[in-house]
Structure 1
Amino acid sequence: MTFDHKPTKKEVEDELAHRLGYYNGKLTFAACINNYIDARTNILSPATIKGYRAIVKALPDTLLDKPIDDISNNDIQKVINDAAGKVSPKTVKNRYTLISSVFAEFRPDTILRVNLPLMVRKEPYIPTREDIRRLLDEAKGTTMETALLLACCGLRRGEICALTMDDIDFDNHLVYVNKDVVVDDKNELVVKVPKTAQSNRAVPVPDAVLESIRQNGLYNKHPNNINSWMRTREAKLGIPHFSIHKLRHYFVSTAHEKGMSDAAIMEVGGWATPNVMIKHYRHAQNTDAVTAAVLEDIV
């Protein structure tokens, strides 16, 4: 602690209490919400913790510096109301969810009644075969081509970035998904286990994907570079913006068209059962054929 004057004993005590998260002898909301997050850093995903930290930064000091025991339902409603005019309804809901979770832990007897902005349902843009083909032409001969093709086979962005050559089974046309790359609250890359137990899986891939891996290699740059590359190329080509994650949507819709069962789609995409490997081999002939068919019109 530093002061620009010789502090009194009370000033020192007040400053120390403030740094420890107390105000007038009471625990502040900032201390509570930070304690809530710190207690879960090894349990929740780094991406979730990063999101929580971002929410804390976005909350007003009028809420953070106030003792949690003195915060009223109306105080929270005001915070929600102010945010509703600046950010999306989903973002507002995420902030309230964290606030209410902190109250549930530090003031469990409190019942919050807050009105949230109406959620606006937006239909996501699902890229067409022509959209994807044009992007692949732009990516030809680079690791981005590999990334796009793998996304069309149902892989998530973080799963694509985490792949190593040891995960590629060229003989059996399989890509083994067993890890994920996420950006933590310090903006550092963290390699972790997949998003869910179901995400640990083997994905059948056609020759076009394996050939891209042989020729171009696997994508090994920062995951955010994929977003910026796609946004730039989409603007250049004059096609609607969509993220690489939307290629998973393309995989699902196209796989349905090609006749793949829901169970097989969930297995390949990592949405369903923990016994993915067993079920994969049970559906191997079907999933191999359909996954190849998903890509046949764009490569």
Structure 2
Amino acid sequence: MEGAISSGPNPRIAVVTGGNKGIGFEVCRQLASHGVAVVLTARDEPRGAEAVEKLRALGLAQVIFHQLDVTDTSSIATLFVFLKTRFGKLDILVNNAAIGGLLVHAGLNKLICRCAQQFAGMDFDQMLEWMVKNVREPVDSAKKGVQTNYYGTKHVTEAVLPLLQSSSEGRIVNVSSLFGLLRLISNEEVRQELNDIDNLTEERLDELLDRFLRDFEADALEARGWPMGCSAYKVAKAAMNAYSRLLSRRHPALRVNCVHPGYVKTGITMNSGVLTPEEGARNVVKVALAPEGGPTGKFFAEDEEASFV
């Protein structure tokens, strides 16, 4: 689905990963509504193409689709070649693609679909507690979660860095979560290492993630001070936050920030959120379109700058 973006006045170019639904779709819509030319990416080609058609039906012609599996190095390389050939630069990268790394207990999805009032009367904490109790996290799912949510984000980012550096205002927005806050890791040594950006390295991040997965396989998460409940999601997001901070230091000319969009009704939350995808995406887009020279290496919780801890 190429050819829709005009060669007229040079628009800002954005890539959004996981753009075919939920927050990602809304980020694409809102960026395009602000005059940004958007490359909507998704792993599933028919669903990605369908999402672009929906946006074009809304009058947003400056959106095109390109297939991307963030866990596939050849897919990432193909996207890079396309962007370099077609645009020669990239202004905005929104790393939104993520998975929960969880398996839902049998029959739960049908229950949620049948009962629109499943979460009526629950507050934020009660919804989270309900969700954690009704899922399980096998080792294979945890590994896939780390591979997608941390390494997928990192590999896409590293691949397109030259194009972001070719922009006069390159920026990276990593969609994060309150689940990535360091306070959820009770292991003080790990917590301090992830927050010690002056001394932390990407190699050390790899070592910590390897240790986490070994402890997961050994059923030693609680004993070693790792988060319980959605463990891999929490650890991967914490690692992604740390990587974002390292990246902002390595490339001070870029704006690299993390955004918690809020507790949004999406597939990952099993629609147990309190915000709509439109509301959550608005928080992401605000950071993506922040004025030139804005903050970098920061964490935004919904609409406010917040602590990584």
**TM-score between the two structures when normalised by the length of structure 2:** 0.25
- 1 or 2, which has the higher helix percentage? 1
**TM-score between the two structures when normalised by the length of structure 1:** 0.25
Rg larger in structure: 1
